[in-house]
Amino acid sequence: MKVLKTIGIVIAILAISFSIYNAFIDPHYEVERSLEIQVEPEVVSEAVSNFKTWPEWSSWFRNDSTMIATYGSTFKGPRGTYSWKSEMSGNGSMEILSYTAGVEMQTSIRFEGFAENKGHWKFEEAATGTKVTWGFSGDMPFFLRFMAPYMDQAVASDFETGLEQLKVWLESKY
């Protein structure tokens, strides 16, 4: 009985320590990456705002053979939607909240079982075409706050790979 009591006390101390640790962590995270693509801003934004192009360049589609996308009746531009099911990446959906051709796009991203996240894209004229910026932000729930400082590390390579693949895909077409 004494062993069980000791184990219970240790577990309680660990749970309290973990909760205190999480209480002092900022739940907000932001990830953002940029790349120059040698095509006009309107061409890049048109491709990105059409969810049916994402399998051509998105690292999430390319790295996950179990991902199945379902497109909404509107799948590009404002209120465009798609959802996915995946054994590897989980299930979720994305919606374009606002879109200005050649300038910017705002999205809502929902991963099943988690709060809404926000995505953003910026398309800026550059000397050789377009500076494309892809970003993602959100807030971790209390018991997952310990992950917030590591979100850049966890997601950035997907953004970098996706932007590189978008660059190759668009520059080969235009």
- pLDDT tens-digit map of 40-96: 999 999 999 999 999 999 998 888 989 999 999 999 999 999 999 999 989 999 999
Distance, in Å, from the CA atom of 110 to the CA atom of 108, rounded to the nearest integer, reads 7
Distance, in Å, from the CA atom of 25 to the CA atom of 1, rounded to the nearest integer, reads 37
Domain segments of the chain: what residues?
28-173
Helix, strand or coil for residue 1?
Answer: coil
Distance, in Å, from the CA atom of 51 to the CA atom of 14, rounded to the nearest integer, reads 44
Distance, in Å, from the CA atom of 85 to the CA atom of 161, rounded to the nearest integer, reads 21
pLDDT for res 168: 97
| CA gyration radius, the chain | 20
User: 46: which 2 tokens?
Assistant: 């048109």
* DSSP state, residue 41: H
Q: Decide: 111 and 94 in contact? Cβ < 8 Å.
A: no
Three-state secondary structure of 103-142: CEEEEEEEECCCCEEEEEEEEEEECCEEEEEEEEEEECCH
Q: What's phi and psi for 128, nearest 5 deg?
A: -110, 15
- pLDDT tens-digit map of 15-42: 888 888 888 999 999 999 999 999 999 9
Range 28-173 has CATH code 3.30.530.20: yes
- pLDDT tens-digit map of 89-135: 899 999 999 999 999 999 999 999 888 999 999 999 999 899 999 99
User: Is it the case that residue 143 has pLDDT exceeding 90?
Assistant: no
User: 71: which 2 tokens?
Assistant: 């497109």
pLDDT average, residue stretch 139-144: 90
User: 174: which 2 tokens?
Assistant: 């235009």
